[in-house]
């Protein structure tokens, strides 16, 4: 994927700031790891997504906006520099957008 690929955020980890589940225009979901500023190569299948939501208690996000991959890297990478923890990230989305 190139840096201009458009993705929307569908979930955020409440325990690991910057870790997101994103979806491309074709509906393919991938994992974005904030600490590495990396997007998973492969798509996440439905069974794996269900396990993630069940075991790691991901917060589903109904943001609706599209972000370039480069924007996600700039915005969510290197979470350790903020020292805030991940709750503010989840709360920021929850405060502005309705969650399912």
Domain locations along the chain: 6-96
- Which residue reads 């020292």 in tokens? 83
pLDDT of 52: 79
**Residue 42, C-beta contacts closer than 8 angstroms, at least 6 positions apart:** 30
**Would you say residue 3 has pLDDT above 70?**
yes
Indicate the helix (H) or strand (E) that contains 50.
Answer: helix 46-55
Q: What is the pLDDT of residues 32-84, one digit of tens each?
A: 999 899 999 889 988 988 887 777 778 889 888 999 999 999 988 764 445 55
Q: How confident is the model at residue 95 (pLDDT cuts 50, 70, 90)?
A: very low
| pLDDT value of position 54 | 79
Query: What is residue 62's DSSP assignment?
Result: -
- pLDDT number for residue 78: 62
């Amino acid at each position: 994927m190139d840096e201009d690929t458009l993705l929307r955020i569908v979930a955020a980890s409440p325990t690991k700031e910057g870790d997101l589940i994103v979806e491309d225009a074709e509906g393919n979901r991938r994992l974005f790891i904030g600490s590495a500023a990396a997007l998973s190569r492969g798509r996440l299948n439905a069974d794996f997504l269900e396990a993630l939501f069940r075991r790691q208690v991901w917060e589903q996000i109904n943001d609706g906006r599209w972000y370039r991959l480069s924007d996600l890297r700039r915005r969510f990478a290197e979470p350790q520099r903020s020292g805030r923890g991940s709750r503010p990230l989840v709360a920021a989305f929850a405060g502005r957008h309705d969650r399912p």
